[in-house]
Amino acid sequence: MTDERQLSVIIDTTLIGVIGENNGLWSFQYDEKWLRDSAKFPLTPSLTLREEPHIDTGSKRPVQWFFDNLLPEEGARELIARDNSLDKDDAFSMLESVGSETAGALTLLPPGAEIPEGGLASLPRAELNERIKNLPHEQLNNKQHKRMSIAGAQHKMLLVIDQGEYYEPIGQTPSTHILKPEHQNPDQYWCTVRNEYFCMRLAQSCGLTVPNVSIDYVPAPVYLIERFDRIGQYPRQERLHVLDGCQVLDISAQRKYRASHAGNLKKLAKLSRQPAKTIINLFKWVVFNYLIGNGDAHLKNISFRYGTNDCVLMPHYDLLSTAVYENGVNHMHAELSQPLGGATTFGDVTIKHLLQFASEIGMPEKLAIKEVRELTRLCLKHSRAMLETLQQQPSYPEKGAEIRLISHILHRCIGEFSQKIMP
C-alpha cells in the first residue's frame, strides 16, 4: 500500500501523464499512449519524453518546481488555501483543489476522474462588483463553476467574454480573458487598473508585442486581458502549452527575482526557435520596464509557447510602474528587477549599464544603442499623447486619480529615466 498522492495531467481531453508525491518528493511519468501519439511533446526541456518516470531529488526538483509554478503567489495563494481549508505550503493539495484551469494547456484531475462537461454561467456586472467588494475574504471565481490556478500575486478571475457580456466558464470550457480588480492594498498601490492598462497600451505603441487589453467599470474598475495561451475564437477555442521563464529553466518560483539576470535571459533566447530575434525582444522588454519604472519584471513574467523543437516568446504581460508608488525622490532608489550592467537601482542606470547588459546577453552594441534611442523616443511621444487623450475624456469618478497617476509615470519615471540613458 502506498501513501503516494497522484494527479492526472490532461491536455484538452488527452491524458499525457501522472504526477505523484510521496514524502515530499514529486515524480512525473508520461502515459504510454501519449508517448505513441504523433502530436506528443515534452512538458519542459528537462522533462524529456521517456517511459521511465522523472523523480525529484532533495536538491533538484524539476517536477515540483514546474507544477508549483502553476499556482498563485502571496495573498492570492493564501486566499485559495483559506477558502479550501488547505495549507498554503502544500502545493500538491492546492493543485488538487484548483488545477482544473491553469496557465497554458494543462488540466489536473484526480486519477480516473471524468473531465467535467463545459458550460457558462452568466455573471452580471452588479454581481461582479459585489465579489470585488468581498475581497480578500472570498475568491472572485465561484468555486462551483471553475477552480482556477493562475500564477501571480494579485487576485485574478477567469472569464469568458462574448458580445460584451461576462460569463464564468464551467468545467472544461476554456476562459477567454483574465480579470484583475484594483490592488488589494489601494492606499499604497492606487489605480493599478489604469496603471497596467496604460503601460500595456504604451508598450504596444512602442512596438512590443502584447495581448489585447481593456478597462471596464462595474462600477469598480477592472482590467481585462485577452488570454494569449488560447487560439481561435469562443466557442471554438483551444489551449496552448505555454511555460513561463522559471518553468523553461527549471527554477523555483521563490527564485524568480534572483534568477532574472542576463545569463538566464541569454539561456532563454538560445532555447527559442529564433535566438537573435528573441534577444532583441527581451532587451526591449528590459529597457521598457526600466523606462516605466517596473521593478517587478521577473522570469515568471516572460512566457514561451513550447512543444517539440518549438520554443517561441509569447506576448508580454504584467507591465506596470512600481516605482511610481515610491514617495518623493525614492523612485530613484527603488530596486531593479534584475541587475543592469552592475546597476541595482533605477537611479544608478546609465547608457553604459544598458550597453553592458546588452553585451552580456549577446546583443551588438550598435544595435543596442539604436533600440534604446528609438524606444526612449517612442515612450516619451506616446505617453504624452495617451495622457492628453485621457484628460480629454468625459468625467467619471476615477478620472482625477488616474490622470495624476499617469502624469507621475510620465514625468517621474519615463521623463527622468530617459534622460539618464539617452545615447
**Statement: residue 163 has pLDDT above 70:** yes
Longest distance between any two alpha carbons in the chain, whole Å:
70
Q: Where residue 395 falls among pLDDT bands split at 50, 70, 90?
A: very high
Residue range 187-223, pLDDT digits in tens: 999 999 999 999 999 999 999 999 999 999 999 999 9
Q: Whole-angstrom Cα distance, residue 29 to residue 22?
A: 14
**Statement: residue 303 has pLDDT above 70:** yes
**Statement: residue 290 has pLDDT above 90:** yes
Q: Whole-angstrom Cα distance, residue 18 to residue 31?
A: 7
**Statement: residue 138 has pLDDT above 70:** no
**Statement: residue 80 has pLDDT above 80:** no
Q: Whole-angstrom Cα distance, residue 375 to residue 370?
A: 8
Predicted local distance difference test score (pLDDT) of residue 172: 83
Helices (H) and strands (E) in the chain, counts: 13, 20
Average pLDDT value for residue range 63-83: 84
Q: Where residue 137 falls among pLDDT bands split at 50, 70, 90?
A: low
Q: Whole-angstrom Cα distance, residue 153 to residue 180?
A: 11
**Statement: residue 122 has pLDDT above 50:** yes
**Statement: residue 148 has pLDDT above 70:** no
Residue 371, all three cell numbers? 533600440
Which has more pLDDT, 151 or 343? 343
Predicted local distance difference test score (pLDDT) of residue 275: 97
Q: How far from chain centre, in Å, is Cα 258?
A: 17
Predicted local distance difference test score (pLDDT) of residue 142: 61
**Statement: residue 422 has pLDDT above 90:** no
Average pLDDT value for residue range 49-74: 92
Residue 296, all three cell numbers? 517587478
Closest CA to 117 of 93, 142, 146, 94: 146
User: Where exactly are the structural domains of the chain?
Assistant: 5-109, 189-225+240-421
Q: Where residue 141 falls among pLDDT bands split at 50, 70, 90?
A: low
Q: How far from chain centre, in Å, is Cα 297?
A: 10
- What mean pLDDT is reported for the chain? 92
Average pLDDT value for residue range 20-34: 96
**Statement: residue 307 has pLDDT above 50:** yes
Share of the chain above pLDDT 70, in %: 95
Predicted local distance difference test score (pLDDT) of residue 225: 97
Q: What is the pTM of this model?
A: 0.93
CATH code of 189-225+240-421, in short, is 1.10.1070
Q: Whole-angstrom Cα distance, residue 23 to residue 212?
A: 43
User: Which range among 79-83, 239-243, 308-312 has the greatest average pLDDT?
Assistant: 239-243
Predicted local distance difference test score (pLDDT) of residue 416: 97
**Statement: residue 83 has pLDDT above 90:** no
Cell 515530499, residue located:
24
Predicted local distance difference test score (pLDDT) of residue 143: 55
CB 100 within 8 A of CB 113: no
Residue 181, all three cell numbers? 480588480
Q: Where residue 1 falls among pLDDT bands split at 50, 70, 90?
A: very low
CB 239 within 8 A of CB 102: no
Which has more pLDDT, 141 or 180? 180
